[in-house]
A and B are shown apart, each in its own frame.
Chain A
Amino acid sequence: MVRTNPNLIREIKKLGAFDITACYSCGECTAICPLSENNFELPRMMIRYSILGLEDKLLSSPQLWLCYYCGECSESCPRDADPGALMMAARRYSIIKYSLGGIARIFYSKIMSIVSLIVLSIIAGLGIYLFKESLDLTRFDPFSLLSYEFIHTAGLVLAVYIAVIALLQGIKMYNYIKHSALEGNLPAGTKVKNLIKSFFIVLFREALAEQRYSKCERQSRYVAHLAIFWGFILLFIATTLDYLKNSNILGLRESYEILKAIDIEIFGVLARIIGIIGGLIGVYGSIYFIYKRLIKDDVYSEYSHASDWVFLVLIFLVILTGFLIDIFIYTNMFLLAYAMFAAHLIFAFDLIVTAPFTKFAHFGYRLIAVWFYEYQKLKISK
């Protein structure tokens, strides 16, 4: 039995696919798609599901997440129905539906998302204000702003929060896509070997290199997307190194002889170098997308949903402030570095707390979908 949601197409249209009802189902989009493959056809099937109101079918389609919106379908669509926008809007819809209790709905309304971000920023700002220590202006010591214990605990709480929600929502998504209409479904005869093999394929090819993305024709966009990802990762590594340095390697340095031999300053130097590289490429990537979304010269950037802006601007601010901390430390402007550090903490807090419900979540859902896809491919090739 299939349940239909007669309002599905209206809801999806609100999220960006304004012209999709013009579709006369010719299949040109599917045939032109560089990522369309046997068993994983994009995007006409998704259009049919949306228009027919087959919500469960739509949500159980990993194909949604295999699309990177290169825009070729929209460019060749004879009805100007913009199938690429439908895929994008359906992904937004899925993020709402996969989220716990549908809470992500907040972040897909312009006003609600801005209000909630302001509230979160105030909470973070208040937190910093209430727990602040006395600043050491002769050098940059993050723990003179907030104590080591505070950062440690807050970080741990946030990490657990993210992990739990990601796990729950990942399971929710999996429960949908395991019922996908694909031939040869997953549950029967799941091979652990294949599961692990496909996991590594996903990790290296998809997460770290975004190989499928490179199949789309716009190389500059692929590079920019990769730049944001790697900028983020490198800044994260830099932050961790800095943290290790300033925390005296978690206080273990005193207890173990072998660690004493390591020059602790090396962590600082490494953190600076990696931080600057990561900051540069991250800033480049996010400015590229902000610019593209402003000039709207490409299919994918023509329409920007509020959620796109919030995510993009937030990630830009986090990378920028992280990068500026490094710059200010390097130029001995410590007061500014502390200010940036505070701003960085606030933006990072906003980004992390909202991550499972905003566009940020596409990273996780996409990895699950691609994992599913790679696993299916291994299975079919047998």
Chain B
Amino acid sequence: MNKLACDVVVIGGGIAGIQASLDLANMNYKVILLDSGPSIGGKMILLSKTFPTLDCASCIATPRMAESTHHPNIKILTYLQIVSIDKHDSSFEIKILKKPRYVDESKCIGCGRCSEVCPVEVPNEYEGGLVPRKAIYIPFPNSLPNVALIDKENCIKCGACERVCPVKAIDRNQKQEEVLIEAKAVIIATGIDLIDYSKKIEYGGGKYVNVLSSYQFERILNATHPYGHILRPSDGKIPRNIGYVLCVGSRDLNWGVKYCSAVCCMYSIKHAIMALHHLHDAEITIYYMDIRTYGKGFEEFYNRAVKEGVKFVRGKVAKIEEDPETKDLFVYLENFDTGKVEIRRHDLVVLAVGIVPTINDSALFKAKLNVYGFIERKLIDVDPASTSIDGIFVAGTAAGPMDIPDTITSASAAAMKAALYIERKG
């Protein structure tokens, strides 16, 4: 078993984890940054732009990712599973299981020739399943470490990748390996997932191909867009008429979560503005219950969307039906302006899916969770980075829904708290 030691272990390599690691590393603490996925970057690196300034998300995230990769005080471990976190007096013992990539990380140069020749095509989870990826793949264009991995479930062992690899990095003998890390403090930055909207039968239960989750639409709008243009999945048509359904799973006791996911209103407005910039004559309708533009510059962003021609219709969409021929969609709602039930046709419908915590395993992470499964903050008003366990801190959306600026603030706060904790313990 490999043994490592450091000052702080940061669990989760999203923007919160990266920010916390960088802050600590710059204060000269040794940090090990863990990510369960094959690349760090989390959700933010996969976003198109940020609201309300429409800055390019990857232009902000990539330099930080690169900095953390190259920082002498940061060691990054990816593609792993956390087995246990144990607290002994003033130190933590974190046991992890590094999963085999079947590609030698130290050799691979990330040229991507292996995936070019691989004959197997499976849905690409990083593109929301909109396009295929290969059985050997690099997660996304700016992933770090920029190393391929083999999806063993789908590999047919044809050997094509081995033949083309210029550095002979493919190593099918890799086994999973256990690593034990000793640290003085832990920061949890495990982030969020989307609510599984296939539970909402009235919205097609995930079966209508032209009903996209907001994440999928985010990818379509992205600069590295999988389709090359804004197109709809059923037949590659340019959508002329897009419907946007807010509060999918959020504020819904029935099948979703009780709380407001905090970011959906804003990213939906962002999507609408971006889509209008690409498709000049398109009609974009946002169906909402309330527009919650609570932050700085948010209300102005909403006003801008209205001015640019995005239509806002008050009324919760109750049902979506698909025309089996054209795959067009019909949304059912009660329009509050008229009080009448309306059935509106759209080429494409995007669901602003709410967010849920990635982890909900209190036994593993030790720290107490709140009723929604987010990590409970010790004192939400005055000590938002501390958790129920001394020495475990929480950063970013692991503590609750928040936007990127709040996430970064929260991550820096967690880093500072962790540093203070280590200093106090001596």
- A interface residues with partner B (beta carbon < 8 Å): 24, 26-33, 36-39, 41, 44-45, 75-80
Contact = CB atoms under 8 A, between A and B. Distances in A.
Contact of B341 (A26, A30, A77, A80): A30
29 contacts: A26-B247, A26-B315, A27-B318, A27-B333, A27-B335, A28-B317, A28-B334, A30-B318, A30-B341, A31-B317, A31-B318, A31-B319, A31-B341, A36-B341, A37-B341, A38-B340, A38-B341, A41-B334, A41-B340, A41-B341, A44-B334, A45-B339, A75-B254, A76-B202, A76-B254, A78-B247, A78-B253, A78-B254, A78-B256
B156 interface: no
Interface string B223-266: 00000000000000000000000010001111010000000000
B271 interface: no
Contacts of A32: 202, 318-319, 332
A31 B341 CA distance: 6
A231 B316 CA distance: 42
A31 B316 contact: yes
B336 A27 contact: yes
B319 A77 contact: no
Contact of A28 (B316, B336, B339, B340): B316
A39 B338 CA distance: 10
A242 B226 CA distance: 80
Interface in B269-324: 289, 315-319
A33 B343 CA distance: 13
Interface in B109-155: none
Nearest to B340: A38
Nearest to A80: B253
Given A28-B318, A78-B247, 20 more contacts: A24-B251, A26-B315, A26-B316, A27-B333, A27-B335, A28-B334, A30-B334, A30-B341, A31-B316, A31-B317, A31-B333, A31-B334, A32-B202, A32-B319, A32-B332, A33-B341, A76-B202, A76-B254, A78-B253, A79-B253
Contact of A78 (B252, B335, B336, B340): B252
Contacts of B341: 30-31, 33, 36-38, 41
A56 B320 CA distance: 35
B391 to A, nearest CB: 39
A104 to B, nearest CB: 30
B45 to A, nearest CB: 32
Contacts of A37: 341
A26 B256 CA distance: 15
Nearest to B201: A76
B292 to A, nearest CB: 13
A4 B340 CA distance: 24
B251 A78 contact: yes
Top 9 A-B residue pairs of the complex, sorted by shortest distance between their CB atoms: A27-B334, A31-B318, A26-B316, A78-B252, A32-B318, A30-B334, A28-B318, A31-B332, A28-B316
A16 to B, nearest CB: 20
Interface in B320-367: 332-336, 339-341
B339 A76 contact: no
